[in-house]
Structure 1
């Protein structure tokens, strides 16, 4: 029986023999694509080739791609681990043709690989083709049908509708018919009893789709119409886990060696056994085996768990796994991080990034587990209370929101627990509560982009901004964009000096001059590999030659900070250790922000060392050497590559002394380190588990920063009458102030004691209760509250309302003894909210026995006393 590693290699070797270039997987975390958070299909990294934005380096490519799907067609998170074949992270084996071969070869090679090379019995295979769609005026895919007839019986070629057999990249863009290959894995007796063709595309767990061949031949326009593409492409995707399951003759993906190593390790740690059933315990094993891969590889590719965007998706997946092992494997300590070495070793040769960062990823995951376990038990008790209160209807939306907000329960986790108790969640009320808290509206932030208006058909923009800030060029295409009700435009140029936001460096701004008409460029970004210039209007003559001019001062200051990050990165590794790796950065004209892996606070001494090293390299005025090299040659040279970045065959290498700093980088830089002038660290802090952040300035920004601090110091010295030792003078002043504060507190305590005795003497009895209502002179609302609280030392049954004018604002405290609360039903908190706060134009609250309020109107304090007296 072939192992999963051997199966993967056979696929790659087969397509290499058919003239395909084998390329590495792109990172699972997507950058420069506003439509995606994660790579969710093998074709994502090739989008620009299909869109015509970029020319493919080879017309035939094959690979295995890490993908992540948490929702979408047939794949909601709630299903993962419950069934046998859906996953969050999965591998997609794929082969592509960019304007080269088409349906004939794709179909022939699919059959050859599956039936001949891998030996899947031919009588277990079925295929589907597109049946056509009259509404779209699309005919049946006769070409695919005729090609399949050469290899498989006609009664095994099934017709599929647009939903199943017509693939689209999105609402617009490349699309086309597809042909799917399905495998019937049922026992022979079942196959004889029920014809497999009736189970295809019917969610049968043993009759599964294994491979999809997409034939991209159309472009979907904004109005929904289709136009033929000038070049036809093939895009295929085969689920690796499903293929392994079929070839290893298992009834579940989780029974194949892709997952059995992780399951065995989980058994060893928990002392529980996996029994291949549908019990909650068995589901927990499958959830962990699946989720650990999504968590590990996403973090290794640079996405840390967080409360927003892609980071929140990872946190949701991690917390779902924690909840399963906590509830069903009786594991109350972190488990997931202990599985990392098993996973890293398994994928070391195909996805080495996890093995290379094993310590970092493990520590991040452990800290996330620890944090959630601290609140999980309380949260589970809370949700049990909520379930009892629902009385078998639906979990209240506000309660579901509280579980998210207070206990960190993602809504899908609440939904899962509700489902286990045969309940639903009031999703509408939950969404309403969530929207109120976040104050956001998807509709308001969504981009509505129109079709590109193409003026000139070119493969991609030539970037000339490394050597010039002014280029004569032409607009190749443009489109209108609407966001938050505002209209703007995006332009693509034939050549541009504008740097598009990437690698932490912000996008350039500047102007486009069309025959003297000035159009401001407000930002420059990448969409996949397309350089897009943002403008608030279009020129009168958009076809004219345009002078593209970058804002020089902003660019110069920005590249000073970018070069400084390289010097900083090398200094961090020198002082803290070689475990330091970049985890994110922001570089603009004002400052730099650098995130890096490190598990302790950087001390003041270490910061001083780092600054000294960077400034020494600046004074050495090292030439910044930039080379374009083959990727492998650059790595051998010692170049630092960032995890989570996708590099081409040729890379740009930035060298600042070959013994100090060599990095792969596409950003812009100074000519020599002396241009940085001076470097100063402003702040060091924690960002996430195992990630620290340094904020720093260089060049002109460093000069401004130091001057501001010197000016502040001079002002302090002047205030302190110019002492010789400023630090000692400040220390002395603070000590003196602390001493005076103690004396004031002591005097205030004596004063409040005397005042308490005075107002007790003024108490009157109303309905058997001692009532005190006084406007008093105190220095603060806290002093008033303390005075009211201390009355219980001298009184048994009482109601007191004390008021004060503190700095022109009203302050009120209401105190009620416990026995009066019980016997008379009076509630200080309620009195404050309903009767006091409106009178003083303010707000407040508290307990039944003591509550306070503050307000803008101090003229009604006597009215407050009368109102409370009336209530008594």
Structure 2
């Protein structure tokens, strides 16, 4: 069936008076039960619902959500709760971008069943693609709720398909008061995430309210269906994927000037009250804003909109622009603060990488806009107001959210203070600042594009007028998958029977050889654990044909376990496997301890603690977690005490297999601390009170772990803390090593270990004093050296000229150059470095050090730059004093002439 036939196949439309027409403006097909000739989807039409709602009543967000969910519950759909906006069950995206994302990839691919079928949900989603449009267009949001109903159809078991979906949509709209003649279903094929299908957009009075996707195609290189330049083939299963915009339904019900006025009224009022916008609040600008929204809807550019508004309302165009820009910032701040609430509330910790990058991006935008609006309130006040109005239960408390925001505000201010001078220095060298420069300033130095642009323009540089934030969000929106060793097997093998799951303390086994490829042996069964989930692989031996071969590495390729065997060319028949018992036991203890430590950290600090990485070795283990501030020594001791109490409690450690959906229902997405395992069934490991999806080997009780010793705690990046620790024998070895270092240090300093801290502190204070004295003497020596150079200066046209080669470092050269320039001298100092020659030029009056260093560099194969008074660089060869003196004299003569 072609795409056109897919649409023509919807008998409900024809049976209910809908006619298929082609829009003369956009050339696309649409269905209408009225007499319209154009589709009405902007820019083919405009918003006609503002101050003219087709609904019989107005709704608040909670009322509209409940109306929708109840409507579908009454039609045999199971209501399910929302998923977090942080997509913990996905390894390809950071944020939940649509309701269907809740069920990708395992449900949509047919690997796992849906939590209910059919189902209805109202899913908060975050999309930052149109970040720069938020606040300006009247309709764009960063966070929105996608109300949806889904049906998952399988061969021989169809729930419902196109006719029922369109019928539900029509009935819902009519129940809200929309006449059938006002509903437009526009044909717009959908594609995304490797799937595609026909789609109808439900439009009422110019506003798209719902999208009805009939997902029945999957990407395939040899597919016979071409859609948007990609090839697809029919899917075995087919899915009803709908999206109804909650905020848009509320907007239409109220007929407000913008979607922001419809849903953020209290927050907007607070921003007006506590900002430099108080006067604007008292002006009647509603009609101006409503007309601006309508014009944005039909696709007019900003400057055209301002001109049309000025003409229509008989106002100055500049004044119109200022009003619209100011109001847009109010709307954007109202929107962004709600987005930040969901991000932090669902457990994101701001960082400079990963999902935390997006949280920090949004927080910085909030802080910047608040500053521009002269907001006399904290952004937390707005977030708290959102929270009270929404009535949503978040994992993270408001107290923690407030603390995170305070720390982010301090970081942002510090970044700005340090960054201004840095930007000024860079801008002096560049005549033009482009898009990539602005992105580099933000990504590498945390500096907002607006600040960089302002400084650059003040310095006379040209700045590309471009919005970078949507681009930044786009570049950081997808998770980078871990690169794994790719081994292509020449033959097909059955999945290996994994004996290490049946008995993690099985250290000897027999097996049959199935194959030998690229130095790897494939067995029918194995007790060797392959590297996975941060746990190193087992090592040991294979006994075959009376010989002993070392197994140095074990990996898993799609369920087939491969054993790297040293010195073996080929093998067949029966073999005996022997695992390194001590290494396996250490791995088990470290893995179980990792779970226990993570649980302890969550118990102490809260549910924003998520595993950000882990490594389990024989000697030690490491655990990286998301956390917004450094951890003190006192806290480390407390963590150690609590985690060891869990060890000594000797709680049972259990592992079992569960249906994925049932496990998610029972334990939530905190299961996926260590990543998302594939398959319909997942292995669950319960260590004490901690429950995770995990494929590692573990002890049978916490008591088997042994003592846990935290070796170090470091902040490896903003928002991520690394714990290194050792357990049992490895902990004793680490403690013994520490004691040895302590005794060695005491021996060197000739003191008892108990007074070592006091002695080291005394030595440190003495060292600091001596360092100060050395620096003071260096200053005096530098001054004397400078005065000597000045006394021995040459004279040229009444100008003191100093040129010399010195045995000092670049820091001292610069200091001397500054000294000589302040005393009216002109010249050049050089010093030999490793593989190059350091050079500093200095000048005063009308002379320019940059010009001098350029000429010296040209002569001696070097380059440099700096300020008019002093410049620095490097030369490939060391010229003589006389050669450089001649260059300086020639320069002075030219300038004088």
Interval of TM-score (by shorter of Structure 1 and Structure 2): 0.5 to 0.7
Aligned partners of 2:510, 2:176: CA distance in 1, in Å? Answer: 56
The corresponding residue for 1:540 is none
The CA distance in 1 between the partners of 2:631 and 2:214, in whole Å, is: 54
The answer as to 2:256 corresponding to 1:269 is no
The reply to whether residue 182 of structure 1 matches residue 240 of structure 2 is: no
Which residue pairs with 1:353 in the alignment?
A: 394
Alpha-carbon shift at residue 758 of structure 1 (Å):
5.0
**Deviation, structure 1 residue 250:** 4.3
- Distance of 2:347 and 2:127 partners within structure 1: 17
Structure 1: how far apart are the matches of 2:108 and 2:97?
16
CA drift of 1:43 comes to 0.7
Between the aligned partners of 1:549 and 1:739, the Cα distance in structure 2 is 61
CA distance in 2, matches of 1:715, 1:602: 29
Partner of 1:285: 330
Question: Secondary structure of the residue that 1:681 maps to in structure 2?
Answer: strand
1:58 aligns with one of 110, 113, 116: 116
Residues 320 and 413 in structure 1, CA contact (< 8 A), matched pair in contact too: no
The answer to whether 1:28 aligns with 2:85 is yes
Q: How does 1:82-121 map to 2 (within 5 A)?
A: 82-99=136-153, 100-103=158-161, 106-107=164-165, 109-111=167-169, 113-115=171-173, 117-121=175-179
Q: 2:244 maps to which residue?
A: 238
User: How does 1:397-412 map onto structure 2 within 5 Å?
Assistant: 397=435, 400-401=438-439, 404=442, 408=446
Q: Which deviations, in whole Å up to 9, do the C-alpha atoms of 1:182-239 show, x marking residues without a partner?
A: 222xxxxxxxxxxxxxxxxxxxxxx122222222333331244343333333222211
Deviation of 1:716 (Å): 3.7
Q: SS at the partner of 1:822? A: coil
Please say if 1:822 is aligned against 2:827. Answer: no
Alignment-derived partner of residue 8 in structure 1:
65
Aligned to 2:305: none
SS at match of 2:610: strand
**2:518 aligned residue:** none
Q: What is the RMSD of the two structures over their aligned residues, measured on CA atoms? A: 6.0
Question: Per chain length, whose mean CA-contact separation is higher, i.e. which structure has more relative contact order (CA < 8 Å, sep 6+)?
Answer: 2
* Alpha-carbon distance between aligned partners in 2 of 1:90 and 1:534, rounded to the nearest angstrom: 47
Cα distance, 1:777–1:473 mapped onto 2, change above 3 Å: closer
Residue 771 (1) aligns with residue 801 (2): yes
Pick the aligned partner of 1:425 from 451, 460, 464. 464
Map of 1:67 onto structure 2: 125
Q: Are the counterparts in 2 of residues 284 and 324 from structure 1 also a CA contact under 8 Å?
A: yes
Evaluate the alpha carbon distance shift between residue 364 and residue 626 of structure 1 in structure 2; reply closer, same or farther with a 3 A threshold. Answer: same
Distance 1:300 1:21 in 2: 26
Match of 2:103 among 30, 35, 46: 46
Secondary structure, aligned partner of 1:50 = coil
Displacement of 1:58: 3.2
SS of corresponding position for 1:340: helix
Distance in 2 separating the partners of 1:169 and 1:532: 32
> What is the match of residue 299 of structure 1?
344
Alignment partner, residue 214 of structure 2: 215
1:377, 1:748 → 2: CA distance? Answer: 31
CA distance 1:9–1:764, shift in 2 (3 Å): closer
Compute the displacement of 1:179 (Å): 2.9
Output the TM-score relative to the length of structure 1: 0.68
Alignment-derived partner of residue 625 in structure 2 = 595
Cα distance in 2, alignment partners of residues 683 and 620 from structure 1: 25
- Residues 211 and 386 of structure 1: is their aligned pair in 2 closer, same or farther, counting only changes over 3 Å? farther
Identify the residue that residue 123 of structure 1 maps to in structure 2. 181
Distance apart, 1:102 and its partner CA: 2.6
Number of paired residues? 743
Q: Give the Cα–Cα distance (whole angstroms) in 1 for the partners of residues 398 and 873 of structure 2.
A: 54
Question: Which shows bigger deviation, 624-633 or 4-13?
Answer: 624-633
CA contact (8 A) 1:404 1:411 kept: yes
Q: Distance in 2 between matches of 1:593 and 1:267?
A: 46
Cα distance per residue 1:44-65 (max 9 Å; x no partner):
1212222122233433222111
Would the aligned equivalents of 2:91 and 2:676 in 1 still touch at CA under 8 Å?
no
Work out which of the residue numbers 384, 407, 420 in structure 2 matches 1:341: 384
| Aligned mate of 1:678, from 699, 707, 721 | 707
In structure 2, the CA distance between the partners of 1:683 and 1:772, relative to structure 1 (3 Å rule), is same
TM-score, with length taken from structure 2: 0.66
CA distance in 2, matches of 1:695, 1:339: 39
1:859-870 equivalences in 2 (<5 Å): 864=884, 867-868=887-888
Distance 2:420 2:778 in 1: 47
Contact 1:684 1:693 in 2 (8 A): yes
- Residue 342 of structure 1 and its aligned partner are, at CA, apart by 2.0
After superposition, give the CA deviation of every residue in 1:457-496 in whole Å (9 maximum; x if it has no partner).
99xx99997545799999xxxxxxxxxxxxxxxx9x9999
Within the alignment, does 1:18 sit opposite 2:56 as a pair? Answer: no
Note if contact 2:596-2:690 (Cα within 8 Å) is conserved in structure 1: no
After TM superposition, the structure 1 = structure 2 runs for residues 824-839 of structure 1, keeping only pairs within 5 Å, are: 825-827=847-849, 829-832=850-853, 834-835=855-856, 839=860
- CA gap 1:625/1:853 in 2 versus in 1, 3 angstroms: same
Give secondary structure in 1 for the equivalent of 2:108: helix
Whole-angstrom CA distance in 2 between matches of 1:507 and 1:251: 60
Aligned to 2:227: none
Match of 1:169 in 2: 192
8 Å CA contact 1:509, 1:523 repeated in 2? no
Between the aligned partners of 1:743 and 1:390, the Cα distance in structure 2 is 41
Contact 1:836/1:864 (<8 A) preserved: no
Any unmatched runs of 5+ in structure 1?
129-159, 185-206, 475-490, 537-543
The aligned counterpart of 1:80 is 134
Contact 1:501–1:508 (Cα < 8 Å) also in 2: yes
Query: Does structure 1 conserve the Cα–Cα contact (< 8 Å) formed by 2:854 and 2:863?
Result: yes
Distance 1:808 1:312, change over 3 A: closer
Counterpart secondary structure, 2:135: coil
